[in-house]
Structure 1
Amino acid sequence: MRVYHASDCVVDSPDTEHSRDNLDFGRGFYVTTMKDQATSYAQRFMRRGRKAYVGEYDLDEGALASLDVLEFSSYDGQWLDFVMACRSGADDTSWDVVMGGIANDRVFTTVDLYFAGEITKEEALGRLAYVNPNDQLCFRTQRAINRALRFCGAEEVS
């Protein structure tokens, strides 16, 4: 399966070292199965006056079977709790790969309100119930990257 990563440079050797802390699924190398989603995200770099690239990788789905994988199929309570733990730096789990919906602009607003204590968990889940998740896969360990991802190429976004 092909997956995509947006960056301001070509990432031919992905790693977990260059990730920011406190992201949706924690520190790691993030990809998506949706090329248009990666391209849209890459355009954020262009708006900051930087170059933008979408890297393409081959995901060995068979290799995922040998890894510790957590998958969320919807924006539910478990997803919300996990994202909150990761974003607050309180996640202490050791998953190799986490897959599920991305907190895009619409979802982020709801998550942010919940995180700030301005809405209840039930209200947040009610707002998220009708949102179709985009997808993201977070490779949280170098072992997972080495086993499951192979760089295929990159194109500059213009």
Structure 2
Amino acid sequence: MSTQAYYKERLGFDPQEAVQDGVNGGYYDGHQPKRHRGERAESHDQVYEENLTKFKDERDAIQKKTFTKWVNKHLKKVNRHVNDLFEDLRDGLNLISLLEVLSGEHLPRERGRMRFHMLQNVQMALDFLRYKKIKLVNIRAEDIVDGNPKLTLGLIWTIILHFQLEQSLR
């Protein structure tokens, strides 16, 4: 893949075209499409927003993959496994198992498969974290049961921070 193709794919623009756009101070010389000031700024803003969205999506995918590996490393001890972090934590059972492994304590759980049971299990995990004085900001059981990616990643990050730090201090 050429350097130009790489930039065009990753950044959404061809650097050589960007340099050409700046030739002649941006004045119309018959070789470039005539642009109005507002259009150029709007186009730049649009490219910026698209690139920012791509970056955020890549970051979220990396976090999801990393956090899934961390969760599986600990769930392995109780013969459990997570394939999709957002889906496999929804019923609360893997979340409770993770907290049991990390804390060495036993937590009660609901065995049913209805939404009510899932909410109960996730709420049990969140209550346990609060009992352990772990601050959870705007994370509700409904968010995890609904598979909210941002809040699920936030919850796992909070757990990682607390238990990794605790483990490091031992």
**TM-score relative to the length of structure 2:** 0.21
Bigger radius of gyration: 2
More helix by share: 2
Which has the bigger relative contact order, CA under 8 A and spacing at least 6?
1
